[in-house]
Structure 1
Amino acid sequence: MTMRALILGAAAGGGLPQWNCAAPNSRAAWDRSAAPRATQSSLAATGDGSAWALVNASPDLRAQIMATPDLQPRPAATHGLRNSPIVSVLLTNGDIDHVAGLLTLREGHAFDLFATEAIHEVLDANPIFAALDPARVARRRVGLDAPFELAPGLRATLYAVPGKVPLYLEGETVETGLVGEQTVGVALSDGARTLQYVPGCAAMTADLAARLNGADAVLFDGTVFHDDEMIRECVGWKTGARMGHMAMAGPQGSLAAFAGVEAGRKVYVHINNTNPVWRPDAPERAEVEAAGWEIGFDGMEIAL
């Protein structure tokens, strides 16, 4: 059986177009002209072709399920009136665009919710997530570098990547290069092939580069191309670095960082609505494609 992964949402928080944005990329997406539409960051994966795991639960999750037949209920005659092939959810951080979709899954379906202790503490502190009935939704605490079964035929291993706490937990001083349980990458494996999923990363370390090297596929944080592009576009004051995300360009960017990293496929995900790579004719897109990268899109399948 081939391990399969589906990009449910390729965009960063806000999606493309963002609901209140008329900047060039969003305008092109509203008009269905030079930029695609994309929902917020999430991945689905299966090891046996039947049971599926979600990696992050986007606020757009219901629409993503509607667009993905593999995730929809099976015939009632064989599976009952209420059923779902989704058997688990894994969280890579506590960001709104990765946890809000959990509330879509509150209608009594049993599944396992995997996260580090630090991320579970964020969920436990917010009473709204008590809507996930603990009698049906088992909250599984997993440690770093400890492989576990995420779904039948699919194992996952979490590892720390540089990042920061979610926006809603920021204090007066924000540390964007924290390395611990609050921001993680995940290695998905069927025992023969490995997919690395890192939708949020503030910097490339030697340990992280070594971990990603040799993967069959790497899906990596592509939030911004230029660190200051939100400022350039006059839609915000934060840089990519301030948000806890590497830029693609520049000496410290992901294009340079991956120069010595070999992978079967390299795909950018979690792409902000300001990023010029959304436009097929943009020189920035040509640059990333020339470096061997693909631009993720909603519905993109990675079959290994």
Structure 2
Amino acid sequence: MSQNARDTAPTSRHGVVALSDTGAQWVLVNMAANVADRLQADAAASNHIGWCEAQHRAIVLTDAQVDHVAGLLSLRDGSPIDLYATPAVFEALSRSLPVLPVLQHYCGVHWHIIPVAGETQCASFRVEQLPHLEFTALATQGPTPPYLAEHETQSAAGHSIAIAVRDRDSGQRLFCAPGAVALGYTELDWMRSADCVLIDGLTTWPADEPEDDWQARRKVLLGVPPRAQGGACPDGFECASDGMVIDL
């Protein structure tokens, strides 16, 4: 399993995670505006993840935050988009921030529902482009997009998710939570068994959960954490950098 954080140099900007099982096809986790612009302007970056020749481009959304979805409209020219998201995220991007109706008039969007909603806090799903990887979505506590009306935020789950990914061939595991504000014990159970952990620099977790219990050999903070001194990561963590590559 390969993972790329697109762009180059330490950064606190929002980006994406690019996942692949064999290196032939790639799936992006979220789509920030600055990354979409680079995919359009930088042929090397676009070719690297195989989007130019792909019949379908695949994206998994962890939430509907503007910083994670603003780049979708920049992908309007090209092949259709296979979009994987929860019902709450699809609802937000269809009504409150109507990105999807606009894209339907250009490249087209194929909806793939991640069934985390209501009382369902955890669900497995498959990404067609990556048959060797198994995905699990976990409801997390994330910031509510300010553009949502109050009645749209009452769902028990689905506005923010983390994803746990397992390579069926190697058994290697990845835990990725780009927008989570706080992680609970359920998510931490998945993190403990992960070989690589990618979490937001602002994310917190219970104080009685020692990071020494995590078996991950790579622990990466996405964005410079506010507690870091001089941009340095806490002990045991790496700060994400543009263009970072992780092979598992």
Give the TM-score taking structure 2 as reference length: 0.80
Q: Which amino acid aligns with 1:201?
A: A
TM superposition shift of 1:129: 2.9
Asked whether the 8 Å contact 2:163–2:176 carries over to 1, the reply is: yes
Equivalent positions of 1:225-240 (< 5 A) are none
Asked if 1:297 is matched to 2:237, the reply is no
TM superposition shift of 1:73: 7.8
Asked whether the 8 Å contact 1:58–1:97 carries over to 2, the reply is: yes
Asked if 1:258 is matched to 2:211, the reply is yes
Aligned positions, number = 235
Greater fraction strand: 2
Q: 1 CA distance for matches of 2:221 and 2:144?
A: 22
2:120 aligns to what? Answer: none
> Per the alignment, do residues 64 and 301 of structure 1 end up closer, same or farther by CA in structure 2, a change over 3 Å counting?
farther
Equivalent of 1:181 in 158, 165, 177: 158
1:130 aligns to what? Answer: 101
1:140 aligns to what? Answer: 112
Asked if 1:200 is matched to 2:179, the reply is yes
SS in 1 for 2:89: helix
Stretches of structure 1 lacking an aligned partner (at least 5 in a row) = 11-34, 224-244
> Per the alignment, do residues 127 and 203 of structure 1 end up closer, same or farther by CA in structure 2, a change over 3 Å counting?
closer
TM superposition shift of 1:162: 1.8
SS in 2 for 1:149: coil
Equivalent positions of 1:22-61 (< 5 A) are 36-61=10-35
TM superposition shift of 1:38: 5.0
1:15 aligns to what? Answer: none
1:6 aligns to what? Answer: 4
Equivalent of 1:93 in 60, 63, 83: 63
1:26 aligns to what? Answer: none
> Per the alignment, do residues 164 and 62 of structure 1 end up closer, same or farther by CA in structure 2, a change over 3 Å counting?
closer
Q: 1 CA distance for matches of 2:211 and 2:220?
A: 12
Asked whether the 8 Å contact 1:54–1:89 carries over to 2, the reply is: yes
Q: 2 CA distance for matches of 1:142 and 1:196?
A: 17
TM superposition shift of 1:137: 1.8
Q: 1 CA distance for matches of 2:237 and 2:140?
A: 21
Asked whether the 8 Å contact 1:74–1:84 carries over to 2, the reply is: no
Q: Which piece of structure 1 moves more, 62-71 or 159-168?
A: 62-71
> Per the alignment, do residues 142 and 102 of structure 1 end up closer, same or farther by CA in structure 2, a change over 3 Å counting?
same
Q: Which amino acid aligns with 1:299?
A: G
| Aligned-residue RMSD, C-alpha | 3.3
Asked whether the 8 Å contact 1:214–1:264 carries over to 2, the reply is: no
Equivalent positions of 1:160-175 (< 5 A) are 160-169=139-148
Give the TM-score taking structure 1 as reference length: 0.66
Q: 2 CA distance for matches of 1:297 and 1:303?
A: 15
Asked whether the 8 Å contact 2:11–2:223 carries over to 1, the reply is: no
Q: 2 CA distance for matches of 1:161 and 1:299?
A: 27
TM superposition shift of 1:132: 1.4
Structure number with greater Rg is 1
Q: Which amino acid aligns with 2:53?
A: N
> Per the alignment, do residues 268 and 36 of structure 1 end up closer, same or farther by CA in structure 2, a change over 3 Å counting?
closer
> Per the alignment, do residues 196 and 36 of structure 1 end up closer, same or farther by CA in structure 2, a change over 3 Å counting?
closer
The one-character-per-residue Cα deviations of 1:108-151 (angstroms, maximum 9, x if unpaired) are 41230000011100011033432212773201111132231252
Q: 2 CA distance for matches of 1:68 and 1:196?
A: 29
Stretches of structure 2 lacking an aligned partner (at least 5 in a row) = 117-122
The one-character-per-residue Cα deviations of 1:20-53 (angstroms, maximum 9, x if unpaired) are xxxxxxxxxxxxxxx9455313111111211110
> Per the alignment, do residues 36 and 51 of structure 1 end up closer, same or farther by CA in structure 2, a change over 3 Å counting?
closer
> Per the alignment, do residues 86 and 259 of structure 1 end up closer, same or farther by CA in structure 2, a change over 3 Å counting?
farther
Q: 2 CA distance for matches of 1:193 and 1:74?
A: 21
Q: 2 CA distance for matches of 1:36 and 1:298?
A: 6
